[in-house]
């Protein structure tokens, strides 16, 4: 099926109908704060990425992925895409490093 | 989101248990947590960032709490000259509190007997985070983002806030470059209170505009 270019993006939800607001909150996990910190360093300190690039990467996610992923999962996926696009890291480097990290014991508590 | 930083229940686990701990999402390994660790390690290895810088950023993040905003609001309630400055030039006024908003713009929205303001970011999650900290989950939810611009009074009611029909409700949609802070009305019954006594009354949700301040 051809894409409908006149349809609004999945992220563009203002004014749509939706259910009751879930007011439960979670404390941000350390890994989520690290994603945020990486983004701040890339934008404010290194100027390798912009907030608009982050947003564009998030908005480009397929609707089902966007809805299924948590907030900082969207962020890290967009950041990673941005870094690959900018040539800062290669997909091969990423693939092998992710395999290495997965094979290691819990690293959550480090740093 | 169901994540929690509460590790209490880990103590229920048998220390000799062979399986990795999966019950608490904070301690489980997910694809995107692996991605974060991999990207962070690569950036550190390439000497673009350091682990120390990450720690510093997280410390700064943790220091940004709604009480910072509450101090600004309390001062504007007791010092009319400051309130005038806060509304006219928010950047300059909050700089007095040591907050630097960088290249972004901030607008302070004053609630009155005639107008109640509420803030959203329909497209994502933009928020005055250097004053209030990271936004609550519901602020980023599909339900809040979709509905508050369509039926704000109903949404406010879900937060226990009833705005009488003779007051206008204005909804402000944030952007990456333009953030909003609500200046709530000083509650009746707080006339004799000092600035320091007022601060604890002023919660995060009142500065987003989904609640009002009460004594």
The confidence score (pLDDT) of residue B27 equals 63
Contact assignment for B48 to A48 by CB distance below 8 Å: yes
Q: Which helix (H) or strand (E) holds B82?
A: helix B80-88
Predicted confidence (pLDDT) at residue B6 exceeds the cutoff of 60: no
Distant-in-sequence contacts of B97-101, Cβ < 8 A, 24+ apart: B97/B68, B97/B71, B97/B72, B99/B68, B99/B130, B99/B131, B100/B130, B101/B128, B101/B130, B101/B179
Question: How much is the mean pLDDT over chain B?
Answer: 89
Contact assignment for A70 to B36 by CB distance below 8 Å: no
Predicted confidence (pLDDT) at residue A72 exceeds the cutoff of 80: yes
Q: What is the pLDDT of residues B57-114, one digit of tens each?
A: 999 999 999 999 999 999 999 999 999 999 999 999 999 999 988 888 999 999 999 9
Contact assignment for B38 to A98 by CB distance below 8 Å: yes
Q: Does the complex come out with an ipTM higher than 0.95?
A: no
pLDDT grade for A106, boundaries at 50, 70 and 90 = low
B5 is annotated as an active-site residue:
no
CA dihedral defined by B200, B203, B207, B208, rounded to 10 degrees?
A: 170
Q: What is the pLDDT of residues B112-156, one digit of tens each?
A: 999 999 999 999 999 999 899 999 999 999 999 999 999 999 999
Beta bridge partners of B178: B105
B164 is annotated as an active-site residue:
no
Identify the residue with better confidence: A9 or B198: B198
The confidence score (pLDDT) of residue B104 equals 86
The confidence score (pLDDT) of residue B103 equals 80
Residue of B nearest to A102 (CA): B34
Question: Which candidate, B139, B169, B74, places its Cα nearest to that of A25?
Answer: B139
- The CA distances from residue A100 to A11, A90, B41, B46, B47, in Å, are 33, 15, 11, 17, 19
B125 is annotated as an active-site residue:
yes
Nearest-angstrom CA–CA distance, B7 and A30? 13
Predicted confidence (pLDDT) at residue B215 exceeds the cutoff of 50: yes
Nearest-angstrom CA–CA distance, B84 and A87? 48
Chain B contact for A41 (CB, 8 A cutoff): yes
User: What does A11-71 look like in DSSP terms, one character per residue?
Assistant: T--TT-----------PPPHHHHHHHHHHHIIIIIS-SS-HHHHHHHHHTS-HHHHHHS-H
Nearest-angstrom CA–CA distance, A69 and A65? 6
Q: What is the pLDDT of residues B21-38, one digit of tens each?
A: 344 455 678 999 999 999
Length of chain A: 111
Nearest-angstrom CA–CA distance, B37 and A28? 16
What's the half-sphere exposure (Cβ side, CA atoms, 13 Å) at B122?
20
Instruction: Give the residue-averaged pLDDT of A13-39.
Output: 95
The confidence score (pLDDT) of residue B9 equals 35
Q: Tell me the domains of chain B and their CATH numbers.
A: 18-62 (no CATH), 65-208 (3.90.330.10)
**Token couple for B164:** 């009488």
- Which chain B residues are closer than 8 Å to A101 by Cβ? 34, 37-38, 41
Q: Tell me the domains of chain A and their CATH numbers.
A: 30-103 (1.10.472.20)
Looking at the partner chain, which of A59, A80, A100 has a beta carbon nearest the beta carbon of B35? A80
Q: What is the pLDDT of residues A34-49, one digit of tens each?
A: 999 999 999 999 999 9
Nearest-angstrom CA–CA distance, B39 and A97? 8
| Selected catalytic residue, list B126, B146, B164, B174 | B126
The confidence score (pLDDT) of residue B211 equals 98
Nearest-angstrom CA–CA distance, B160 and A55? 32
The confidence score (pLDDT) of residue A7 equals 84
pTM comes to 0.85
What's the half-sphere exposure (Cβ side, CA atoms, 13 Å) at B38?
29
Instruction: Give the residue-averaged pLDDT of A1-16.
Output: 84
pLDDT grade for B196, boundaries at 50, 70 and 90 = very high
- Which chain A residues are closer than 8 Å to B149 by Cβ? 14-15
* B209 close to B182: Cβ distance less than 8 angstroms: yes
Eight-class DSSP state of B13: S
Nearest-angstrom CA–CA distance, B192 and B35? 54
B121 is annotated as an active-site residue:
yes
- Which chain B residues are closer than 8 Å to A27 by Cβ? 3-6
pLDDT grade for A109, boundaries at 50, 70 and 90 = very low
B63 to chain A nearest CA, in Å? 13
Identify the residue with better confidence: A1 or B158: B158
């Amino acid at each position: 099926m051809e894409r409908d270019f006149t349809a609004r993006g999945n992220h563009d939800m203002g004014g749509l109908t939706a259910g009751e607001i879930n007011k439960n909150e979670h404390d941000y996990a350390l890994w989520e704060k690290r994603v945020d910190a990486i983004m701040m360093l890339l934008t404010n300190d290194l100027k390798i990425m912009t907030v608009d690039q982050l947003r564009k990467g998030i908005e480009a996610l397929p609707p089902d992925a966007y809805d299924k992923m948590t907030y900082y999962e969207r962020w890290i996926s967009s950041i990673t895409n941005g870094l690959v696009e900018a040539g800062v890291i290669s997909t091969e480097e990423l693939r092998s490093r992710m395999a290495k990290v997965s094979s290691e014991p819990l690293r959550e508590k480090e740093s | 989101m169901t994540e929690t930083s509460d590790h209490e229940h880990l103590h229920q686990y048998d220390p000799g248990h062979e399986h990795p701990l999966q019950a608490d999402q904070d301690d489980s390994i997910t694809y995107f947590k692996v991605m974060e660790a991999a990207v962070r390690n690569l950036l550190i290895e390439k000497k673009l960032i350091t682990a120390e810088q990450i720690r510093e950023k997280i410390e700064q993040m943790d220091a940004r709490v709604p009480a910072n905003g509450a101090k600004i609001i309390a001062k504007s309630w007791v010092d009319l000259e400051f309130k005038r400055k806060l509304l006219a030039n928010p950047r300059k006024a909050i700089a007095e509190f040591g907050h630097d908003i960088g290249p972004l713009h901030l607008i302070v929205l004053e609630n009155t007997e005639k107008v109640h303001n509420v803030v959203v970011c329909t497209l994502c999650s933009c928020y005055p985070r250097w004053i209030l900290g990271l936004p609550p989950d519901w602020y980023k939810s599909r339900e809040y983002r979709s509905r508050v611009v369509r039926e704000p009074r109903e949404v406010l009611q879900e937060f226990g806030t009833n705005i009488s029909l003779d007051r206008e409700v204005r909804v402000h949609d944030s952007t990456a470059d333009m953030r909003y802070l609500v200046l709530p009305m000083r509650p009746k019954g707080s006339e004799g209170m000092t600035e320091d006594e007022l601060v604890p009354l002023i919660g995060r949700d009142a500065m987003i505009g989904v609640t009002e301040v009460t004594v």
